[in-house]
Structure 1
Amino acid sequence: MAEIKEMTPEELQQAIEENRAYTIIDVREDEEVREGMIPGAKHIRLGDIPMKVDTLNKDETHVVVCRSGRRSMNASEFMKEKGFEAINLKGGMLEWKGDTTKP
């Protein structure tokens, strides 16, 4: 299994502030996302990743987010196996201190 890069919420917040090019993928369930998500994130539930991964751009770097970092790690591993650059958000939304938006 390939090693998955991880990023802290603080590193992602800084990247957003510096307009660095990341596509943020939120793999939480609908009811979790309703509580708020990182602005600009795309919502693709973990169970839908296998069917929707081909709609994503392989030339982009994806930061994958869930509640605690476990499901997003699974999604990151799957995406990496499919040839995507995927970074797991360590600690997930539980550790996110930045702005959130409602879908």
Structure 2
Amino acid sequence: MKQIMSNEVEELVSQKKDLSIIDVRETEAAAAGKIPGAVNIPLGLLEFRLQDLDKSKEHIMVCRSGGRSSMAAKLLENHGYQVVNMAGGMMEWQGPTE
């Protein structure tokens, strides 16, 4: 599984790149602050929302520490999606949140 560091994601966000960032934390945790532009799909619902994800894009998976996003990345990879896991999760994120 591919990994990306939080500072690399921050750089991509600051450059206003067309990114697909999926935050797999529970809704309450994501509501407290998520990466700008990230879509919150809790891990437990991800399998039921696969049809909402574009298979032609690479998706950056994010959670609190990197564990759940790693599981989410494996699930998506098994369904043919291009994914990269943000190592360290939001605990490592130094950029702005919304």
Counterpart of 2:3, as a letter, is E
Distance in 1 (alpha carbons) for counterparts of 2:19 and 2:27: 22
Answering whether residue 70 of structure 2 is matched by residue 73 of structure 1, we say yes
Match for residue 61 of structure 1? 58
Counterpart of 1:5, as a letter, is K
- One of 34, 38, 55 as aligned partner of 2:35: 38
Shift of 1:14: 1.0
Shift of 1:50: 0.5
Shift of 1:54: 1.6
Listed one character per residue, the Cα deviations across residues 38-77 of structure 1 (whole Å, up to 9, x for unaligned) are: 0100010000000001211001110000000000000000
Alignment partner of 1:20: what SS? coil
Match for residue 93 of structure 1? 90
Aligned-residue identity in percent: 38
Match for residue 12 of structure 2? 15
Structure 2 gaps, min length 5: none
Distance in 1 (alpha carbons) for counterparts of 2:10 and 2:51: 27
Runs (4+) of structure 1 exceeding 6 A deviation are none
Please give the root-mean-square deviation of Cα atoms over the aligned residues, in Å.
0.9
Give the TM-score of the pair, scaled to structure 1.
0.91
Shift of 1:22: 2.1
Distance in 2 (alpha carbons) for counterparts of 1:8 and 1:72: 13
Shift of 1:17: 2.1
- One of 46, 50, 68 as aligned partner of 1:49: 46
Give the TM-score of the pair, scaled to structure 2.
0.95
Structure 1 gaps, min length 5: none
